[in-house]
Amino acid sequence: GAVVSQHPSRVICKSGTSVKIECRSLDFQATTMFWYRQFPKQSLMLMATSNEGSKATYEQGVEKDKFLINHASLTLSTLTVTSAHPEDSSFYICSAPGQGDQPQHFGDGTRLSIL
Protein backbone atom coordinates (compact mmCIF):
# COMPACT_ATOMS: atom_id res chain seq x y z
CA GLY A 1 0.00 0.00 0.00
CA ALA A 2 0.87 3.67 -0.06
CA VAL A 3 3.74 4.67 2.20
CA VAL A 4 5.01 7.97 3.51
CA SER A 5 8.67 8.19 4.41
CA GLN A 6 9.79 10.77 6.96
CA HIS A 7 13.40 11.63 7.66
CA PRO A 8 15.21 12.01 9.99
CA SER A 9 13.60 10.00 12.76
CA ARG A 10 15.49 11.81 15.48
CA VAL A 11 17.39 15.07 15.71
CA ILE A 12 19.33 16.49 18.63
CA CYS A 13 20.87 19.91 18.11
CA LYS A 14 21.86 23.11 19.80
CA SER A 15 19.61 26.11 20.29
CA GLY A 16 19.67 28.45 17.32
CA THR A 17 20.11 25.70 14.74
CA SER A 18 17.70 25.31 11.84
CA VAL A 19 16.41 21.81 11.26
CA LYS A 20 14.85 20.43 8.10
CA ILE A 21 12.46 17.48 8.13
CA GLU A 22 11.57 15.70 4.90
CA CYS A 23 8.39 13.88 4.07
CA ARG A 24 8.20 11.79 0.91
CA SER A 25 5.31 9.95 -0.62
CA LEU A 26 6.50 6.65 -2.03
CA ASP A 27 4.82 5.14 -5.11
CA PHE A 28 2.14 7.82 -5.23
CA GLN A 29 1.86 11.55 -5.78
CA ALA A 30 0.72 13.87 -3.04
CA THR A 31 -0.27 17.39 -3.97
CA THR A 32 -1.07 18.00 -0.31
CA MET A 33 0.76 17.05 2.86
CA PHE A 34 -0.26 17.66 6.45
CA TRP A 35 2.23 18.56 9.19
CA TYR A 36 1.39 17.80 12.81
CA ARG A 37 3.06 18.48 16.10
CA GLN A 38 2.64 16.28 19.13
CA PHE A 39 3.69 17.31 22.62
CA PRO A 40 4.37 14.60 25.21
CA LYS A 41 1.22 12.83 26.32
CA GLN A 42 -0.91 14.99 24.05
CA SER A 43 -2.72 14.55 20.80
CA LEU A 44 -1.66 15.56 17.31
CA MET A 45 -2.21 19.20 16.47
CA LEU A 46 -2.34 20.21 12.83
CA MET A 47 0.26 22.88 12.16
CA ALA A 48 -0.08 23.45 8.46
CA THR A 49 -1.10 22.02 5.13
CA SER A 50 1.47 22.12 2.37
CA ASN A 51 0.34 22.41 -1.22
CA GLU A 52 2.49 21.58 -4.21
CA GLY A 53 3.04 24.69 -6.29
CA SER A 54 1.51 27.16 -3.85
CA LYS A 55 1.91 28.53 -0.36
CA ALA A 56 1.23 26.43 2.66
CA THR A 57 -1.85 27.02 4.77
CA TYR A 58 -1.02 27.53 8.44
CA GLU A 59 -3.32 26.90 11.37
CA GLN A 60 -4.08 29.70 13.75
CA GLY A 61 -1.26 30.40 16.16
CA VAL A 62 1.47 28.73 14.10
CA GLU A 63 4.33 31.05 13.18
CA LYS A 64 4.91 31.01 9.45
CA ASP A 65 8.41 32.40 9.73
CA LYS A 66 9.32 29.88 12.36
CA PHE A 67 8.05 26.80 10.58
CA LEU A 68 8.89 27.07 6.91
CA ILE A 69 7.11 24.62 4.66
CA ASN A 70 8.08 23.86 1.11
CA HIS A 71 6.29 21.45 -1.19
CA ALA A 72 8.95 21.14 -3.84
CA SER A 73 7.47 18.34 -5.88
CA LEU A 74 4.57 15.93 -6.02
CA THR A 75 6.45 13.54 -3.76
CA LEU A 76 8.34 15.79 -1.34
CA SER A 77 7.32 18.24 1.36
CA THR A 78 9.74 19.74 3.88
CA LEU A 79 9.32 21.44 7.22
CA THR A 80 12.17 23.64 8.43
CA VAL A 81 12.21 24.73 12.03
CA THR A 82 14.24 27.93 11.90
CA SER A 83 16.44 29.06 14.78
CA ALA A 84 15.09 26.29 16.96
CA HIS A 85 14.80 26.75 20.71
CA PRO A 86 14.12 24.25 23.49
CA GLU A 87 10.39 25.01 23.39
CA ASP A 88 10.35 23.72 19.81
CA SER A 89 11.31 20.28 21.05
CA SER A 90 8.50 17.98 20.07
CA PHE A 91 7.44 15.08 17.88
CA TYR A 92 6.62 16.17 14.34
CA ILE A 93 4.59 13.95 12.03
CA CYS A 94 3.66 14.38 8.40
CA SER A 95 0.86 12.69 6.51
CA ALA A 96 -0.51 12.50 3.02
CA PRO A 97 -4.22 12.35 2.18
CA GLY A 98 -5.56 9.04 1.02
CA GLN A 99 -7.26 8.65 -2.31
CA GLY A 100 -11.02 9.15 -2.22
CA ASP A 101 -12.40 7.85 1.06
CA GLN A 102 -9.13 6.39 2.24
CA PRO A 103 -7.53 7.64 5.47
CA GLN A 104 -4.32 9.60 5.69
CA HIS A 105 -0.97 7.87 5.41
CA PHE A 106 1.36 8.88 8.23
CA GLY A 107 5.12 9.10 8.35
CA ASP A 108 6.92 7.58 11.31
CA GLY A 109 7.56 10.99 12.86
CA THR A 110 10.64 13.01 13.84
CA ARG A 111 11.67 13.45 17.44
CA LEU A 112 13.25 16.89 17.68
CA SER A 113 15.26 17.73 20.79
CA ILE A 114 16.79 21.19 21.15
CA LEU A 115 19.45 21.55 23.81
Smallest separation, CB 7 to another protein (Å): 12
Shortest Å distance, C-beta 59 to another protein: 9
Query: How many CB atoms sit inside 10 A of residue 20's CB?
Result: 15
Query: β-strands 10-13, 110-114: how paired?
Result: parallel
- Per-residue binding string, another protein, 27-66, x by CB under 8 A, is -----x-x------xxxx-x--x-----------------
Q: Is 15 in the site for another protein (CB under 8 A)?
A: no
Please select the residue that binds another protein; options are 75, 78, 109, 114, rule is CB under 8 A: 109
CB proximity list for 88: less than 8 A, separation 6 or greater: 66, 81, 112, 114
Q: Rule CB under 8 A: is residue 100 a binding residue for another protein?
A: yes
- Count of residues in contact with another protein, rule CB under 8 A: 27
Q: How many residues can be counted in the chain?
A: 115
102 binds another protein (CB under 8 A): yes
E strand segments, 27-66: 32-38, 44-51, 54-58
